[in-house]
Amino acid sequence: METRFDEQGIVRANKPVGAGLYLMELEAEKTAHSIAPGQFVHLRLPRMEAHILRRPFSIYSATPENATIEILYQCVGFGTAHLSELLVGEVLDVMGPLGNTWHTPDSAERALLVGGGVGAAPLFMLAEELLGKGIAFDVVLGAQRKDALVCRTRFEALFMGGSVHAFSLAHANSTLFCATDDGSFGHGGFCTELSKDLLSKQAYDYMAVCGPEPMMRIAVQQALECDTPCEVSLEKRMACGVGACLSCVVDTSEGKKRSCVDGPVFDARKVVFA
Amino acid sequence: MRVKMRVNLGGLGMKNPVTTASGTFASGREYSDFVKLSALGALTTKGVSLHAWEGNATPRIAETPSGMLNSIGLQNPGVKKFLENDIPWLRKQNVPIIVNVSGHTLNEYLILLKILEEEKSIDAYELNISCPNVDAGGMTFGSDVKSVEEIVTRARALATKPLIVKLTPNVGDIAEIARAAESSGADALSLINTVLGMAIDARTKKPLLARVVGGLSGPAVKPIALRMVYETYQAVSIPLLGMGGIMNGEDAVEFMLAGATAVAVGTANFVNPRATIEVIEGIQNYCEIYGVKDVNELIGGLQC
Ligand SMILES: Cc1cc2nc3c(=O)[nH]c(=O)nc-3n(C[C@H](O)[C@H](O)[C@H](O)COP(=O)(O)OP(=O)(O)OC[C@H]3O[C@@H](n4cnc5c(N)ncnc54)[C@H](O)[C@@H]3O)c2cc1C
Ligand SMILES: Cc1cc2nc3c(=O)[nH]c(=O)nc-3n(C[C@H](O)[C@H](O)[C@H](O)COP(=O)(O)O)c2cc1C
Ligand code: FES
């Protein structure tokens, strides 16, 4: 395993991007150079007062050339609300790189990525990686409303070859599908309705899922039914983030696993959903 | 000025007064990217039991004002795996090893101790009779004078290494329990384990922990821990290992002034993975600033 560290990150940008979601850019050189798709960082924020624990976040994107990482986050409580108030130039502690990575087999011919809400964040680096490896993939994103589909433009740019990568996906027939609960963009309904449809029409040999637990459960069920290898990224409350405290365990067919070191990415077949 | 940092905790020599609080540092491997383990006074392992324990359902932790609740429930793979996987690695780290010993029944504690006695590289035991997160054993052993006497006497008869008995704060009279442990042969006492507590989410009307109740740790418990170390120091003459909310060197010094010979750093590791090292440096700095030549001068130095 690579060496973990705790480095100082400097806030370079921190902006609302719609529907209670924020995008933070951090200068964190070591993390930017070492983080792999699926991994996360454990943040210690300044002035958290009586809130002593760190907060775990996936990496949305990393740009080693600029020594920066991005985190896409949703305000759900004190810590994330406080995070949204940090100003450019403020310093926080970034522990990383933590957790495991997605394990798309190199032999995969077509992958399906399903992201619900802010759960789409940890899928973006995976999409970039698949693109780099020349593995075709489709992406399904779901959100409550159009303005919460914040990852859409990035994925679109990736599909257009407009990303930093020169490789264009056009030939691979890859598509981005969107669903909104209120029908304000794309399919009106859940993203799992789209994934169900895709799985019935197309052969996929890998599926990656991240989002709210009820959504993941449905997507996993779909993958199991058509025997598609599937991985899920789980969110568990964490204290240490390095495997020492046993706070974050997940029930699996192989017993209890620590999601901060054995996960957050798990083989969907092995996870015992509560 | 060179501060003398060495202390003796009931026969366990420590090059400085700082160890890890059981259950917050595993067996050290997880923190070895952040901390050179040989810099610690000792390393206290996660609770080990005779057989593997599953622990409790999740969520197992909740953040609470200036602290956290946990209901891990002593999840561990059992002594056999511990001796196979952890001890060989720990042995190479050049740090005194304190093994935290747990059980559901008296017999389990005793069989476990017999097995641990075979392992030469273990330097001391911390007898955990204070875990609030298991239904049988744990804290129930540590809350009653008679059962404390029985388990400590029996453990003493088996243990050839320093025996530290870990006390629960969830009792009416800590001095009475401490005296019982001392008279039954404990070499040192450690305190406090976590304080029983709970947290509720008003919006969902549900408890934040699956087990409903759990153990409180972190800065929130420090005043309770200091008071209990102080009371215990007055009641017994064996050395104390103080813990409960120690975040920095100054906190550690407060515990020593209240009567602790050594201190353990627990929840602070989750906040800052280098907390143990910073506590050691902080104690040293304090001594330099206040002209303390030997850290032992701090023990019980409270001026009332
Ligand atoms: C591996 C991992 C990756 C994550 N990636 C992202 C991400 O990219 N973007 C994003 O918006 N959120 C992400 N989360 C969830 C994020 O950590 C929580 O939303 C955040 O900790 C909430 O903190 P709070 O103080 O605002 O909420 P509070 O509810 O006040 O927090 C109280 C406690 O509960 C914990 N907690 C609350 N919700 C969660 C949760 N969903 N998962 C884990 N712990 C929680 C907090 O860390 C804290 O200890 C991730 C979680 C994990 C485990
Ligand atoms: C997550 C967690 C796990 C713990 N596990 C154990 C354990 O296995 N055995 C034990 O004796 N104490 C255990 N404790 C208690 C600590 O060792 C310590 O007594 C307590 O947390 C107070 O110190 P602190 O405030 O510095 O954490 C645990 C505490 C926490 C927070
Ligand atoms: S958060 Fe401590 S073991 Fe995973």
Lowest-pLDDT choice from A87-96, A155-164, A189-198, B196-205: A155-164
Note the pLDDT tens digit of each residue in A38-85.
999 999 999 998 999 999 999 999 999 999 999 999 999 999 999 999
The pLDDT of residue A118 is above 80: yes
Give DSSP secondary structure letters for A129-142: HHHHHT-EEEEEEE
Q: How far is the CA of A146 from the centre of ligand 1 (A)?
A: 23
Q: How far is the CA of A76 from the centre of ligand 2 (A)?
A: 28
Probe residue for ligand 3, chosen from A258, A262, A265, A266 as the CB with the greatest number of ligand atoms within 8 Å: A258
The pLDDT of residue B262 is above 80: yes
Report strand pairing: A136-143 vs A206-210. unpaired
Query: What pLDDT is stored for residue A174 in this prediction?
Result: 76
Query: Closest chain B residue to A53 measured between Cα atoms?
Result: B271
Q: How many CA atoms lie within 13 A of A59 on its CB side?
A: 34
Query: What pLDDT is stored for residue A161 in this prediction?
Result: 57
Residues in B closer than 8 angstroms to A272, CB to CB, are: none
Please give the mean pLDDT across all residues of chain B.
Answer: 96
The pLDDT of residue A166 is above 50: no
% of chain A beyond a pLDDT of 90: 80
Residue B78 · residue B55 · CB < 8 Å: no
CB A74 near ligand 1, within 6 Å: yes
Note the pLDDT tens digit of each residue in B74-85.
999 999 999 999
Probe residue for ligand 2, chosen from B25, B194, B228, B272 as the CB with the greatest number of ligand atoms within 8 Å: B194
Say how far apart CA A230 and CA A223 lie, in whole Å: 6
Note the pLDDT tens digit of each residue in B6-30.
999 999 999 999 999 999 999 999 9
CB A266 near ligand 1, within 6 Å: no
Sign of CA dihedral B262, B10, B188, B182: negative
CB A256 near ligand 3, within 6 Å: no
**Start-to-end C-alpha separation, chain A:** 30
Query: What pLDDT is stored for residue B248 in this prediction?
Result: 98
Query: Closest chain B residue to A3 measured between Cα atoms?
Result: B33
The pLDDT of residue B146 is above 60: yes
The Cα of A202 is separated from the nearest Cα of chain B by a number of Å equal to 37
Say how far apart CA B302 and CA A170 lie, in whole Å: 75
pTM here is 0.96
**Interchain contact, B270 vs A245, CB within 8 Å:** yes
Note the pLDDT tens digit of each residue in A183-195.
898 899 999 999 9
Probe residue for ligand 1, chosen from B60, B61, B63, B267 as the CB with the greatest number of ligand atoms within 8 Å: B63
The pLDDT of residue A165 is above 70: no
Mean pLDDT confidence for A99-112 = 94
**Interchain contact, A6 vs B274, CB within 8 Å:** yes
pLDDT confidence bin for A162, thresholds 50/70/90: very low
pLDDT confidence bin for A167, thresholds 50/70/90: very low
Given B30, B62, B271, which is nearest A244 (Cβ)? B30
Mean pLDDT confidence for B238-253 = 98
Residues in B closer than 8 angstroms to A260, CB to CB, are: none
Joined tokens for residue B87: 């001890």
Mean pLDDT confidence for B140-162 = 94
Query: What pLDDT is stored for residue A170 in this prediction?
Result: 45
Query: Closest chain A residue to B66 measured between Cα atoms?
Result: A50
Cα-atom radius of gyration of chain B, to the nearest Å?
Answer: 18
Query: What pLDDT is stored for residue A175 in this prediction?
Result: 85
Mean pLDDT confidence for B235-263 = 98
- State the complex-level ipTM: 0.95
Query: What pLDDT is stored for residue A168 in this prediction?
Result: 40
- Residues of B marked active site are found at 131
Residue A33 · residue A111 · CB < 8 Å: no
Query: What pLDDT is stored for residue A173 in this prediction?
Result: 63
Q: How far is the CA of B88 from the centre of ligand 2 (A)?
A: 24
CB A244 near ligand 3, within 6 Å: yes
Please give the mean pLDDT across all residues of chain A.
Answer: 92
Q: How far is the CA of A180 from the centre of ligand 1 (A)?
A: 23
Question: A-side interface with B, Cβ within 8 Å?
Answer: 3-6, 44, 50-54, 93, 95, 236-250, 256, 261
